[in-house]
Structures are given as structure tokens and as C-alpha cells.
């Protein structure tokens, strides 16, 4: 069967899962949030990566339904964390694809999920990509403003890899930049990249944006990023994406 056909069947069969990767405070190692990462355990192909099937789902339009499932599942899971450890619960960060974001009713759906789950808006971050900001500027800006007015946080995923210019940062108000792994990978070996990262962190501080560095794998990367003023990080050094059960255990008994 074609992967594309199997995708819609998988959604109907409730075959998708979410993993949750800790986002930590660099200084303390404390888990402050989790990024929800979509997984498809396939009966014959093994674990199919979202890098493979999310683009297919975008093409076919299935991403609207799939994205709605991700949002619903992640928001309700985060609400269960908030019941486990009221007051200090971590946030959940959900990837939103361009087509999903642009679907009419998206903002209302996000607010509906918060209302039905009881998750405080501040505990939800939506990860968008720079490519979204190339679209209909006024509509997108209005939607982001509406989301943030309700307390939801917005972050720019894979920051620094997109085609858009930095000019969107002053037009479109966001909360967080997720510094792409490619910067993290080269920071320890390239003085120029190190300078560039320090420049990005200074700019972010000036604009009151928080930064999460992605894909931290070594102590050296951790140390250099922390020294450059990056407050938050994510990567295999701290933790791999966890099953919902393991994430819940970590929330209940922080490492
Ligand atoms: O988790 P992994 O490294 O395999 O993710 C690969 C890519 O898939 C990343 O770009 C990630 O942002 C994206 N991705 C993971 N989960 C989701 C999701 O729920 N929705 C969307 N749109 N993209 C996702
Ligand atoms: O595009 P986005 O940043 O959402 O992609 C997140 C992806 O990065 C996830 O698929 C996750 O599995 C992967 N990832 C997270 N931490 C690390 C890491 O330390 N090293 C590598 N190679 N991948 C990572
Ligand atoms: Mn992401
Ligand atoms: Na991404």
C-alpha cells in the first residue's frame, strides 16, 4: 500500500503516538517543558519519521486532521502533568505545520483544546517555522497576536535556517527562538559560528526573546552555549524523546 494511503488509515486506527523530549534550564538541568514529537510505529516499516510523513500529510491535506490529533493529545497530556504537580508543571511545545496553521479555525481550535483540557494557556507553546512568516503577513500576524493575547506562547522552530529575513522579528511578535541544531553542531569547532551564535543571543536578549538551543549532544556544547547566555536547551545530552509514560514519571519525580 502507498504510504500516503496508509497514513489516513493509521490516523483512523489511532496508530500514531507522541513522544516528549525534555527542554531544560541550562544552569540547573531542571526540565521546564517538553516538545511533543510525532511518532508512527509502522507494522512493517518500523518507526517512520515525521520528516518522511509530515510532508506527505501536508500535500494530501491530511495534516489538518493529524495536526488536530497532535494538538489534542499534547494539550490533554500536559493538563495531566499540571494535575500531578500543580504550580510547577512543565509546558508542552507543539509543532504546527504551515498548512495546519493556515487552516481556517485553527486559532479557535487551539482555544477550544485549552478550554476542554483545563491547561493554562501559559503552559502551551506553538512551534512555527520561518517559512510560515513568508505567507499572508497581515493574517498570520493577526493570528499570532490573537494566540498570544490569550497567553499562549509562540516559538520559531529551526531558527536561522529559513529563507525569511530577520525583519519579521519586529513585525511578528513571538516569545522564543529555537536555535537550530546546525548552529549547536558547529559552535565548538568554528570561531565564526561561535560569534554568530553570541550575536543571535544578544539580539534575542535585546528583543526580550527567550532562546532554546536544539540538539545539544556534548558537555562542550552545553558549556559554550550557557556561557554565551543561552538559558534553555534540548538534546540527547539531557534526554531523548520519551514515551508519554516515561515523561509522566519524570514530571512526577524530576531527575
Ligand atoms: O522527532 P524528529 O526528529 O524525528 O522530527 C523530525 C521532524 O518532524 C522535525 O522537523 C520536527 O519538527 C517534525 N515534527 C515532529 N513532530 C511533529 C508534529 O507533531 N507536527 C509537525 N508538523 N511536525 C513534527
Ligand atoms: O525540527 P525540530 O527542531 O522540531 O526537530 C526536532 C528533532 O530533533 C526531533 O526529531 C528530535 O528527535 C531530534 N533531536 C532532538 N535532540 C537531538 C539531538 O541531540 N541530536 C539529534 N541528532 N537529534 C535530536
Ligand atoms: Mn520542533
Ligand atoms: Na521542525
pLDDT of 1-57, one tens digit each?
Answer: 788 899 999 999 999 999 999 999 999 999 999 999 999 999 899 999 999 999 999
- Grid cell, residue 109, equals 481550535
Atom of ligand 1 nearest to the CA of 19: 1
Look at 168 and 236; give whichever has higher pLDDT: 236
Phi and psi angles of residue 5, each rounded to the nearest 5 degrees, phi first:
-70, -40
- The Å distance, Cα 125 to ligand 3 centre, comes to 10
What is the model's pLDDT at position 164? 66
Model confidence at 86, in pLDDT bands (50, 70, 90)?
confident
Residue 223 has pLDDT above 90, yes or no: yes
Per-residue pLDDT tens over the stretch 96-119: 999 999 999 999 999 999 999 999
Residue 51: CB within 6 Å of ligand 1?
A: yes
Q: What is the pTM of this model?
A: 0.97
Mean pLDDT of the chain: 94
- C-beta 37 within 6 A of ligand 1: yes
Residue 151: band (very low, low, confident or very high) from pLDDT cuts 50, 70, 90: very high
Using a 10 angstrom Cβ sphere, with 0-12 exposed, 13-18 middle and 19 or more buried, the burial of residue 6 is: buried
- Whether residue 120 has its Cβ less than 6 Å from ligand 1: no
The predicted-structure confidence for 163-190, as pLDDT tens digits, reads as follows 667 778 888 889 999 999 999 999 999 9
| Ligand 4 centre distance from Cα of residue 178 (Å) | 9
Contact 54 CB / ligand 1 (< 6 Å) = yes
- For the chain, the structural domain boundaries read 3-252
Class of the CATH-defined domain 3-252: alpha beta
Residue 83 has pLDDT above 70, yes or no: yes
214 lines ligand 2 (CB under 6 A): yes
| Cell triple for 171 | 513585525
What interface predicted TM-score (ipTM) does this complex get? 0.97
Torsion, Cα 196 198 201 207, to 10 degrees, reads -80
Taken in order 161, 164, 170, 171, the sign of the CA dihedral is negative
Strands (E), 91-226: 91-95, 124-129, 153-159, 176-179, 210-213
If you search the block for the grid coordinates 511545545, which residue do you land on? 93
Could you give the CA distance from residue 173 to residue 207 in angstroms, rounded to a whole number? 10
CA distance 183 to 95: 20
For a ligand 2 pocket test, name from 214, 221, 247 the mutation site with the most ligand atoms within 8 angstroms of its C-beta.
Answer: 214
- pLDDT tens for each residue of 39-55: 999 989 999 999 999 99
As a whole number of Å, the CA-based R_g of the chain is 18
Pairwise CA distance, residues 94 & 126, whole Å: 5
- Residue closest via CA to ligand 2's atom 10 equals 37
Asked if 116 contacts 178 with a C-beta cutoff of 8 angstroms, the reply is no
Amino acid at each position: 500500500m502507498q504510504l500516503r494511503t496508509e497514513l489516513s488509515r493509521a490516523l483512523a486506527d489511532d496508530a500514531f503516538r507522541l513522544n516528549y523530549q525534555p527542554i531544560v534550564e541550562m544552569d540547573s538541568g531542571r526540565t521546564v517543558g517538553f516538545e511533543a514529537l510525532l511518532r508512527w510505529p509502522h507494522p512493517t516499516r518500523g518507526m517512520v519519521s515525521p520528516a518522511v510523513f509530515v510532508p506527505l500529510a501536508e500535500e494530501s491535506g491530511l495534516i489538518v486532521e493529524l495536526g488536530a490529533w497532535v494538538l489534542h493529545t499534547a494539550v490533554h497530556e500536559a493538563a495531566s502533568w499540571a494535575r500531578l504537580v500543580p504550580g510547577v508543571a512543565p509546558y508542552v511545545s507543539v509543532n504546527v505545520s504551515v498548512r495546519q496553521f493556515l487552516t481556517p479555525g485553527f486559532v479557535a481550535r487551539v482555544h477550544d483544546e485549552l478550554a476542554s483540557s483545563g491547561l493554562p494557556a501559559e503552559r502551551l507553546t506553538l512551534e512555527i517555522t520561518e517559512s510560515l512568516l513568508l505567507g499572508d503577513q497581515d493574517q498570520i500576524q493577526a493570528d499570532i497576536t490573537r494566540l498570544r493575547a490569550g497567553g499562549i506562547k509562540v516559538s520559531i522552530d529551526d531558527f536561522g535556517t529559513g529563507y525569511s529575513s530577520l525583519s519579521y522579528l519586529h513585525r511578528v511578535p513571538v516569545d522564543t527562538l529555537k536555535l537550530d541544531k546546525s548552529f549547536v553542531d558547529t559552535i565548538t569547532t568554528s570561531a565564526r559560528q561561535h560569534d554568530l551564535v553570541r550575536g543571535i543571543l544578544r539580539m534575542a536578549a535585546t528583543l526580550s526573546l527567550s532562546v532554546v538551543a536544539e540538539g545539544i549532544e556534548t558537555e562542550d556544547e552545553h558549556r559554550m552555549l550557557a556561557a554565551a547566555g543561552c538559558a534553555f536547551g534540548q538534546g540527547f545530552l539531557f534526554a531523548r524523546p520519551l514515551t508519554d509514560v516515561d515523561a509522566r514519571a519524570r514530571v512526577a519525580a524530576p531527575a
